[in-house]
Structure 1
Amino acid sequence: MSKSTFGQLPAVTIRAADGAQATVTLYGGHLVSWQTSDGQERLFCSRASNLDGSRAIRGGVPVIFPQFGARGTGMRHGFARVATWQLEATGDADGAVFAQFVLHHTDLPEAIAAAWPFAFTLRLRVAVKAQALDLSLCVHNTGEQAFPFSAALHSYFAIDQLSQARVGGLQRVRYSDETPQDALQAEEFLQFADKLDRIYYQLPGALTLQSGASTLRLEQQGFTDAVVWNPGAQDAANLPDLADDEYPRFICIEPALIQPDLLAAGAEWTGRQHLEFV
């Protein structure tokens, strides 16, 4: 483990003996780089993103908590991605290295804490080895009253070309998008022509992302749903922290718990994701 910076942000970099590595900024507990042991960068980060703590980072893996998108009365996608986390532990086991980060409710700025007045501890664990990345997000209700929450890991995966990428494992899965009614995906593979923004509910198994000669396998537990998103040309042009030519270079596939879960006082919830190039 070494302390580093990403833009102007303090960060932590972990490196496995085989060369796999990951970098996480303390701002947002935000995974901003994942390199497999062959040296390839597997995550997308926009060159137009402000890396000074003035707004959420565009790219990598933002932590979404306690609200998904605008589905609530709080700030969009919640406060975890703009809060300052602490490094809690690092270590290694079976050739993999990990770093664990923690965010307590007492770490929040006063205005944010007042708007969501619940006691909690979040823990994010990042582990890398060879061609694999393991992520876990644990939510612990440390207070005396239950609270509702949603959560997601808003992963931006680097791809060769959007029009040639495809996502498998979603056939016959129910999804919602900007149309009024839910639908079932008919196609074996999801492909991209332009903007796409879908929430897939109750995933039955693993997903795959094929881009060029590489295939990424995505497995999740605890997270019941998945969000697949790319802004397309028109929406990308309206995002100030995304360069106009960048949208064909990433796909977001996010393990998510969309419908708010009610976490009892003293209870814990954990969502996990295992990513591996096969």
Structure 2
Amino acid sequence: MVDRPKKPSALSATPAPAPQAQVNISHSNSRVSAVLPSGESVEILLYGATITSWKDKAGEEKLWLSEKAVMDGSKAVRGGIPLVFPVFGTAPSHEATSKLPQHGFARTSTWEFLGKSTSESSETKDGGDSSVKLDFGLSSAELSEASKKAWPYSFGLIYSVTLGKDSLTTSMVVRNEGGEAWEFQALMHSYLRVADISVVSVAGLESSTYVDKVTNPISTNTSPAEPVTITGKTDRVYTPTGGPSTAVTVSEGSKKKFAITRDNLNEVVVWNPWVDAKSMADFAPAEGYRNMICVEAGAVKGWQKLEAGETWEGGQIISY
């Protein structure tokens, strides 16, 4: 056999494309879901831009959602992460928001899905997407007539949900698109899933000032130098001494379940309805309060003021 000096080289194999995050719009275009190549997932209802599910790669749900949560757009969703804007609770003495229903209109308005963006991690073998960011928008033009009448200001909101391999980031940009100044409050009402509330503790709120909305919503208290535990109905607004950059951690027994860091959200609301849950028509099962705790990052102490054309941004990262 003749040995040829120039043998044809083997054809180089075409590299397979890196795995990508899958984003789907379903349920008659009412929900947006995303799944990372590694298996983590998130689902957002366009009504309220409410996050209704967040699962790790093993499929374990991280959020608590009531079995009787109303998902048809007729009322706010009980569970997940609803959005509070432009008022926390009710504010009858604040003229601009006095006519609004509890927690404002963001959680009861239909948002627009603006699209997705992804990032790749060089640390993964396949170079696939390590996160996916989903953006949602709401403006004054999209409000119901009742909401426009109750809060007649021109605004624009962009809400971003970023699913990572071990975290969920939510952030909101608020813009005054009108010609006059207005004030607002904002909060991310996170319902975190736990196995047993009796062994749950919340650290990062030690020696912090707080208002107890159950016992005395007027006076300010200082929390003891130990983690917060839940032994009854709880509804407190804390201003952590460590500031937003210091994590607030939720532990179950000796195991850390969640860590929450905040950006420009100075307050943390801790809420559990305890046995009062039984009187809530959309709260189920009745004993579900044993499996959830709300640790809510917000700007709810006083008011944020935006002059014409100004913007404000705040957010949180929940990791596990």
Provide the secondary structure at the position in 1 that maps to 2:104: coil
Alignment of structure 1 residues 135-174 onto 2, 5 Å: 135-174=170-209
Q: Which residue of 2 aligns with 1:199?
A: 237
Q: How does 1:198-217 map to 2 (within 5 A)?
A: 198-204=236-242, 205-211=246-252, 213-217=255-259
Partner of 2:294: 252
1:20-59 map, 5 Å:
20-59=40-79
Structure 2 CA distance for aligned equivalents of residues 67 and 13 of structure 1: 28
Q: Cα offset for 1:80?
A: 0.3
- How far is the alpha carbon of 1:202 from its aligned partner? 4.8
Query: Deviation at 1:82?
Result: 0.3
Q: Secondary structure at the match of 1:182?
A: strand
- Name the CA distance, whole Å, in 1 between partners of 2:172 and 2:241: 18
Which of structure 1's runs of 4+ aligned residues deviate more than 6 A? none
How big is the shift at 1:71? 2.4
Higher mean Cα deviation, 209-218 or 42-51?
209-218
Question: Per-residue displacement from partner, 1:212-233 (whole Å, max 9, x unpaired)?
Answer: 5442110001111010000011
Question: TM-score normalized by structure 2?
Answer: 0.83
Residue 63 of structure 1, aligned match among 59, 83, 90: 83
In structure 1, the residue matched to 2:26 is 4
Residue aligning to 2:265: 223
- Structural mapping, 1:235-246, within 5 Å: 235-243=276-284, 244-246=286-288
> In the comparison of the two structures, how many residue pairs are matched?
274
- Within a 5 Å distance, the mapping from 1:47-126 to structure 2 comes to 47-72=67-92, 73=98, 74-94=100-120, 95-126=130-161
% identical equivalent positions: 32
Corresponding residue SS for 1:181:
strand
TM-score by length of 1: 0.95
Larger Rg: 2
Do the aligned residues in 2 keep the contact of 1:45 with 1:59 (CA within 8 Å)? yes
Q: Secondary structure at the match of 2:74?
A: coil
Q: Deviations over 1:207-254 (max 9, x none)?
A: 000125442110001111010000011x21221110211111100000
Equivalent-residue separation in structure 1 for 2:148 and 2:195 (angstroms):
41
- Structure 1, unpaired ranges of 5+: none
Per the TM alignment, residue 16 of structure 1 is displaced from its structure 2 partner at its CA by 1.4
